[in-house]
Copies of this chain bind each other. A is one copy, B any other.
Amino acid sequence: MSRISLPHDHGSDIEKHMDSLPKTEDFQVLSDIFRLLGDSSRLRIFWILCHCEECVINISAMMDMSSPAVSHHLKALKTGRLVVSRRDGKEVYYKAADTEQAALLHHMIEELLEIACPGSAYPSASRPT
């Protein structure tokens, strides 16, 4: 049983939790994922690509953004393995990656939208119960 000495000892159960504290590198891996979604443009692009597959100029049009800016974000999302791409002729189509990670993040975004922005998500569709 490891004993961790801290400056102050109020009778907390901290050592118990410190034993299960994930490694520093793991927090780095996770924060890298969160940082990808920490930009509103990139988050919006990811949301779109969770719902359909689209080429860059259409994404640019939807985002009202230059294609170099969109391309920049797509590269970041792709490097982070949140989206995948395929070329068809002159166009490159992007969509959310078919992975557990991407699915979890998408699900969480929808949940957070309901909690943090009530009444906003799916205004035309199903009414919240």
Contact = CB atoms under 8 A, between A and B. Distances in A.
B57 A7 contact: yes
Contacts of A120: 22-23, 26
Contacts of A123: 20
Contacts of A61: 6-7
> Contact size class for A?
35 or more
A97 interface: no
A52 B108 contact: no
A33 B91 contact: no
A117 to B, nearest CB: 4
Nearest to A55: B8
A23 to B, nearest CB: 6
Contact of A38 (B31, B47, B57, B101): B31
Given A31-B43, A43-B30, A58 B20 contact: no
Contact of A34 (B18, B37, B53, B113): B37
A27 B48 contact: no
Interface of A: 6-8, 10, 12-14, 17-24, 26-40, 42-44, 47-48, 51-55, 57-58, 61-62, 91, 100-101, 104, 108-109, 111-113, 115-117, 120-125
